[in-house]
Chain A
Amino acid sequence: MAKWGMVIDLDKCTGCQACTTACSMENNRLPGENWQDVLFYHEGTYPNVKLMWFPRPCMHCENPSCVSVCPTKATYKDPHGGFVLMDWNRCIGCKYCQVACPYGVRFYVDEKAPVQPDIRTVFPSADGRVWDPPYRGPQDDPGRGIGIQPHGVVSKCTFCYHRVSKAPAGIADLDEDIPALKEYVPACVRTCAPKARFFGDLDNPESTVNKLIADKSGVRLKDETGNKPQVYYLSGGAAASVPSLRSMTPSDPA
């Protein structure tokens, strides 16, 4: 089975946040609770100031610390594809996974709305979900954390499981520029105008994502936590590089 991974080329990213909004709409996110986010930072003194940004989805780690701490196995590593998913029927809302995620990509559904007035009160749900926007997508799979959340649970990026899982078996890369594949590509990858994002099978040595990681010396965020993200970042690409770990070990296949 595939081990899906994402490659984000930081040399191409324009910081436009289309990934964030496409994800928000595809996955019916509450405004401001961004499964996929772009983080902005700045440093320096006028007139030489550095403004930088960093696109950040869930890393869908090989060895996710959020999964190991969950007391009910509500969050789990899907063996078919390596997705880190949520089972909303098992989640008790203890938020330990949120605490245990070094990337800050998990969200408790019942927090105060970041944007007021609370849109959940504008489109209330009749069947126990948090809200019911008229534009919600047709997909609904609470056992995998897909669709509109019920109350009292944690939600997270699914790597667009509802799209990716339907991809033809054995495919190396999901390239949105190939018309036959675009419906299987995660929303953030599909919409990315500068094509800074690539999505493919990390277990397939011939995939484009593996080629990019090799050619441009892909790195993983906070590798020292041992979580082994399945999201890689590219920048520069010089072979002389800062290693992310004191000793590099091969990744586990999914």
Chain B
Amino acid sequence: MEIIKTLLSRRRFLQASGTAGAVGAAALGSGGVLTALKPVRAQAASPPTYHATKITKSICHQCPARCGIDVYTTDGRVHAIYGSSEHPISNGKLCPKGPLGTYILYDPDRFKGPMKRTNPQKGRDIDPGFVPISWEEALDTVAGRLNTLRDKGESHRFALCFGRGWGASCAGLLGPFGKLYGSQNVPIGHSSMCSDGSMLSKAATDGNASYSAYDYRNANMLLMFGVGFLEAFRPYNNNMQVWGYIRGERVPKTRITAVDVHLNTTLAGADRALLIKPGTDGALALAIAHVILTEGLWERPFVGDFKDGVNRFKTGQHVDPGTFEEKWVKGLIEWWNIELKDRTPEWAAEITTLYERDILATAREFGSTRPAIALFERGVHAHSNGILNGMAVHSLNALVGSLFAKGGLMYQMGPSYGAMPVKEDDFMDDYAKSGPWKAQPRIDLQGHEDGYLIAKNMLQEVGPNSLAGKPYKLDTVMFYLTNPIWTAPDGRAWEDALKEVFVVDTSPFPGETAMFADLILPDHTYLERLQDAPTYPFQGWPMAQLRVPAIKPLYDTKYFGDTLIEIGKRIKGRTGEYYQALGDSENVIRHLAKGFETDPGDNGVDSFDSWKEKGVWYKKNYKWRQIGGAFFEWDGKGYNTPMTAEQVKKELFKTDSGRFEIRSGKLEHHADWIAAKTGRDKDKLMFPHWEEPQHPGGGDLYMVTPKAAMHAEGRGANLPVAIANFQPVLGGRGTVYIEINPKTARERGIADGDLVRLKSHLGSIEGHCRFFEGCRPDTVVFPMENGHWAMGRWAKGRSPGHCGEITVNQSDRVTGQCSYYTTKVSIERA
């Protein structure tokens, strides 16, 4: 009887959310009977009409692409996100992540205001004991620490690390802060943990330290090396629009060969899928170059030719440099003689495990189809030989003349931003100009002989270096849009490092790094922010988006740009004056927009207000083009103004020679250092060449951990809809599996679906495996997404474990690229 009584109690019934109330209650004859009989009342008084709905033009935040979004808000609630029709990247479309932004806004696990730590003990799964504080207290605390450091002459012991910087009103403020306050460690970007290997490979060859912009729509062949074009390559949304066009509408249909280490949707959709051995893409590229040369398929107007027109590229045979006249490339014949002449498809087949016939067919197709683009990202260069692989692939673009060509690739132009309200140079005090901090190296040893001389950033070294006190220990570190405890390889080192440092996190979400924070200064989520964002490399022509808040902030949060400005105002001396003059982030953005007054966008954006209304400023003409080996500038009507070699050097090939340097001047300048640190041959290290990659970890299987379409930069793990659809090969309806080739599994006594343990010398993680023939027998694959121990209720503890726990912190010594995909692990039944 007690059971029935309990059941009948209203309280109990309401508690039971997710109840089939009608069933339980109806059978009992309680109030539920009426519920069951009564028609469901409509929730809205009248049928919805869209004129009651406000549409805000903003931009997405879930990958670097910056798609324009229409945010639908009714009665103060954001309920839908679609691509903006007027936005050149999204064109009314979105990727699968886009619509999930509302989850991010209404994430129940968000931080709701500034907080400080009360538990002095730090550690994994230790409750920080956060208690709410006022913004005033929070900002004063940070500024107080910073002022004290500066007074002691130790301002370099403050570091500010950031991940996804967006524009001048957030990441753009960091450089001046470092200069004025006096810390070379403000800022340290995450580019080395992103795709610096690609930037540096390009800097080494064509002088542009940048990702490329691509003209896919006019290309007739795309040769993709480890880019995940239909999974993660930015701008993903636009890539798919391109795909629909080039594969479903365009005449002729663009041919696609995709190279990767496991079968993904890109490979499945390509004409030819090549499942290559990890770290050997460079060998494939060299063999393709070999075939292009021996079969005379190179683009002569761009590359140059033998003086007598007779092709002397014969396998194994030395070529006299004097017989060849190079045009826009430098070092081709030397490259042939020192490396390429023996790099036959047969040789590459051995290295890459691909079939010789496939290599040959790929090379012939790529060499004989114009325009063609060879594109590559981390799959290629996140290895110890990354710079060499990257240069080898990029050199293919030179051989077929696709640099700056129609249907080729180029580099992104910046927007016509107005000047900042004030110049930081006018506010430099003596300390800033010549304080003791100046004598210190960067904490990550970027630009230092003992560290990474040529790299752009070395975020992955910050934690370990501080922990080791080499070059010194940090006192205070602040994080913006980065969560290195989780994203850095071997995050345990970061955990130990951050235990002894005062940590300020600005994430709105309870990430792993936030759990080690002493102060939480939560940012707005992106639908609440006003934030500028010049385009990520897209189609070359300039574009600047504006993230416009769709609703007022739900909680007591503050835009990071303003948090930084407010801290700046509290720094003693001239720094504070600078930030007083800067005012706030909106003032900064208003000044940026002034540039549009004299250079209005194609869509009529010529002011802050029109920018805010439309969400994007752009001008659709790229300034330069290479046509048949000659370079021209846009004159307003066409590419009609011929460019001189000097202009080309200044604007396009920013190398010593002003040409595409297969023999890299940039590397040659540092030849001694590179030779000392990598053991490479001093005569060869400036050429793309084959070098066995180093695979640490101590296991026998390559561990590959790609990002999938549902990976929403740091937030995908806590989005229930993303979790539910984490497909195709790696996912599995709420459970992400470790992909393994059936043969590999059976040899180890592992059955389909078994719980397995992956081990490197750093430790082990567990997860369920799934047999997949599209996984190489020497490789295990699972996405970098799961295994959070913080980050929110859905993310926490989701299997399989996090790859970072067993990924060795190894970087390409030249590019500084963190080699995420190079650790070897062993697998066993758990």
Whether A191 pairs with B94 at a CB distance below 8 angstroms is yes
Residue A104 lies at the interface, judged by CB distance under 8 Å to chain B: no
Known A-B contacts A121-B18, A193-B240; the reply to A45 vs B727 at CB < 8 A is no
A61 to B82, CA, bound (A): 28
Is A17 a contact partner of B44 (Cβ separation < 8 A)?
no
A52 to B729, CA, bound (A): 10
Check if B773 is an interface residue, CB within 8 A of chain A: yes
Query: B99 to A191, Cβ gap below 8 A?
Result: yes
Among A49, A53, A191, point to the contact of B98 (Cβ < 8 A).
Answer: A191
Min Cβ gap B795→A in Å is 11
B583 CB within 8 Å of chain A: no
Known contacts A12-B248, A40-B729, A117 near B96 by CB under 8 Å: no
A residues contacting the other copy or chain, number (CB 8 A) = 80
- Contact, CB under 8 Å: A194 / B248: yes
B370 at the interface (CB under 8 A from A): no
What is the bound-complex CA distance between A21 and B712, given in angstroms?
A: 13
A51-B265, A142-B42, A191-B83 given; A18·B729 CB < 8 A: no
Contact A18 B721, beta carbon cutoff 8 Å: no
Interface residues of A in 100-157 (CB under 8 A from B): 110, 113-125, 127-131, 133-142, 147-148, 150-152
Stretch at the interface among B71-79, B183-191, B617-625: B71-79
Known A-B contacts A127-B41, A151-B20; the reply to A52 vs B268 at CB < 8 A is yes
Neighbouring A residues of B77 by C-beta, 8 Å = 134-136
CB-CB under 8 A from B85, the residues of chain A are 177, 179, 182
| Residues of chain A with a CB closer than 8 A to B728's CB | 15, 38, 40, 51, 53
Q: How far is the CA of A113 from the CA of B77 in the complex (A)?
A: 25
The answer to whether B734 has its CB under 8 Å from any CB of chain A is: yes
**Residues of chain B at interface, number, CB under 8 A:** 87
Name the B residues within 8 Å of A14 (CB-CB): 230, 240, 243-244, 265, 269
Residue of B nearest to A112 (CB): B18
Cβ contacts under 8 Å, A176 to chain B: 92
Contact A140 B733 (CB under 8 A): no
Q: How far is the CA of A187 from the CA of B53 in the complex (A)?
A: 17
Given A51-B774, A138-B74, also A121-B81 (CB < 8 A): no
A121, B238: Cα distance in complex, Å: 37
Give the residue name and chain of the B residue nearest to A22 (CB): B99
CB neighbours (8 Å) of B287 from chain A are none
B721:A24 contact, CB within 8 angstroms? yes
Question: What does DSSP make chain A's interface, helix, strand, loop or mixed?
Answer: loop
Confirm or deny: B596 has a beta carbon within 8 angstroms of a beta carbon on chain A. Answer: no
CA separation between A234 and B780, bound complex, in Å?
35
Pair A135/B78 contact, Cβ less than 8 Å: yes
B241 beta carbon closer than 8 Å to chain A: yes
Chain B residues in 8 Å Cβ range of A131: 17-18
Return chain B residues, CB-CB under 8 Å to A150: 22, 40
Q: Is A192 interfacial (CB-CB < 8 Å)?
A: yes
**Residue from A31, A42, A183 within 8 A of B720 (CB atoms):** A31
Q: Please tell me if the beta carbons of B724 and A16 are within 8 angstroms of each other in the complex.
A: no
CA distance A120 to B18 in the complex (A): 6
Q: How far is the CA of A42 from the CA of B771 in the complex (A)?
A: 11
Give A182 to B50 CA distance when docked, in angstroms: 12
Are A17 and B75 in touch, CB under 8 angstroms?
no
Residues of A within 8 A of B102 (CB): 25, 135
Q: Is A26 an interface residue (CB 8 A)?
A: yes
Q: Please name the residue on chain B nearest to A45 by beta carbon.
A: B773
Question: Which stretch, B103-111, B312-320, B466-474, B486-494, touches the partner chain A?
Answer: B103-111
Give the interface centre of B95, B241, B710, B772 by most chain A CB atoms within 10 Å.
B95
- Report whether A117 and B20 are in contact in the complex, using a CB–CB cutoff of 8 Å: no
B48 and A117 contact, CB distance less than 8 A = no
Which one of B17, B240, B244 lies within 8 Å of A124 (CB-CB)? B17
- Is B43 in contact with A127, judged by CB distance below 8 angstroms? yes
Which of B39, B47, B774 meets A139, CB within 8 Å? B47
Pick from B17, B94, B727: contact of A18, CB under 8 Å: B94
Q: A15-B230, A115-B724, A182-B92 are in contact. Are A24 and B99 (CB under 8 A)?
A: yes
Which chain B residues numbered 15 to 69 have a C-beta less than 8 Å away from chain A?
A: 17-23, 35-36, 39-44, 47-48, 50, 52-53
B643 at the interface (CB under 8 A from A): no
Kindly identify, within residues 39 to 73 of chain A, every residue whose CB is under 8 Å from any CB belonging to chain B.
Answer: 40, 42, 44-47, 49-53
B777 on the A face (CB < 8 A): yes
Cβ-based interface call for A162 (8 A): yes
Closest to A122 in B: B108
Complex formed: what's the CA distance from A26 to B72 in Å? 11
B275 at the interface (CB under 8 A from A): yes
Do B18 and A118 touch across chains, with their CB atoms under 8 A apart? yes
Q: How far is the CA of A196 from the CA of B249 in the complex (A)?
A: 11
A238 to B728, CA, bound (A): 29
Residues of B within 8 A of A199 (CB): none
Interface residues of B in 234-264 (CB under 8 A from A): 236-238, 240-241, 243-245, 247-249, 263-264
Interface presence of A34 (CB below 8 A) = yes
Which B-chain residue is minimally distant from A128 (CB atoms)?
A: B35
Is the C-beta of A75 less than 8 angstroms from some C-beta in chain B? no
Chain A 79-106 interface mask (CB, 8 Å, partner B; 1/0): 0000000001100000000000000000
Tell me whether A11 and B39 are in contact (CB under 8 A): no
User: B96 contacts which of A20, A26, A141 (Cβ < 8 Å)?
Assistant: A20
The listed residue (B238, B725, B773) touching A42 by CB distance below 8 A is: B773
The answer for the CA separation of A52 and B97 in the assembled complex, in Å, is 21
B100 touches A21 (CB 8 A): yes
Whether B21 pairs with A151 at a CB distance below 8 angstroms is yes
CA of A115 to CA of B775 in the docked complex: distance in angstroms?
26
A49 touches B263 (CB 8 A): yes
Bound: A191/B469 CA distance, A: 51
Indicate which residue in A29, A148, A151, A191 contacts B19 across the interface (CB closer than 8 Å): A151
How near does chain A come to B783, taking the closest CB pair, in angstroms? 14
A233 to chain B, nearest CB (A): 13
Contacts of A139 on B, CB cut-off 8 Å? 44, 47-48
Please, how many angstroms separate the alpha-carbon atoms of A152 and B98 in the complex? 31
Residues of chain A with a CB closer than 8 A to B35's CB: 128
Residues of B within 8 A of A123 (CB): 108
Does B327 sit within 8 A of A, measured CB to CB?
A: no
Residues of A within 8 A of B108 (CB): 122-123
Q: Which B residues lie within 8 Å of A34 (CB)? A: 724-725
Report the separation of the CA atoms of residues A51 and B265 in the bound assembly, to the nearest whole angstrom: 7
Whether A115 touches B44, Cβ cut-off 8 Å, given contacts A16-B230, A194-B240, A196-B244, is no
Q: B93 within 8 Å of A by Cβ?
A: yes
> When chains A and B are docked, how far (Å) is the Cα of A28 from the Cα of B317?
67
Shortest CB distance A39–B (Å): 9
The answer, yes or no, to whether B793 is at the interface (CB within 8 Å) is yes
Compute how far the CA of A152 lies from the CA of B40 in the bound complex, rounded to whole angstroms: 12
Is A31 in contact with B48, judged by CB distance below 8 angstroms?
Answer: no
Q: How far is the CA of A104 from the CA of B208 in the complex (A)?
A: 52
Contact check, B94 vs A49: say whether CB atoms are below 8 A apart.
no
Q: Which residue of chain B has its CB nearest to the CB of A42?
A: B774
- Find A22's partner among B74, B82, B268 (CB 8 Å cutoff): B82
B762 within 8 A of A: no
The answer to whether B21 touches A46, judged by C-beta atoms less than 8 angstroms apart, is no
Q: Mark B95-128, 1 if CB is under 8 A from A, else 0.
A: 1111110110110100000000000000000000
Given contacts A40-B727, A194-B241, contact A138 B52 (CB under 8 A): yes
Given known contacts A128-B40, A138-B53, A191-B94, A152 and B774 CB-to-CB distance under 8 angstroms = no
17 residue pairs A–B, Cβ–Cβ below 8 Å:
A11-B248, A12-B249, A18-B96, A38-B727, A50-B268, A89-B40, A115-B734, A119-B720, A120-B17, A128-B40, A129-B40, A130-B18, A135-B105, A141-B42, A190-B82, A191-B93, A191-B94
4 additional A-B pairs beyond A14-B269, A151-B20, A162-B48, beta carbons within 8 Å, are A21-B96, A114-B724, A138-B52, A195-B244
The 7 closest A-B pairs by CB, nearest first: A194-B244, A32-B724, A31-B720, A12-B248, A193-B240, A135-B102, A40-B728
Task: List A residues at the B interface (Cβ < 8 Å).
Answer: 9, 11-12, 14-18, 20-22, 24-26, 29, 31-32, 34, 38, 40, 42, 44-47, 49-53, 88-89, 110, 113-125, 127-131, 133-142, 147-148, 150-152, 162, 176-177, 179, 182-183, 187, 190-196
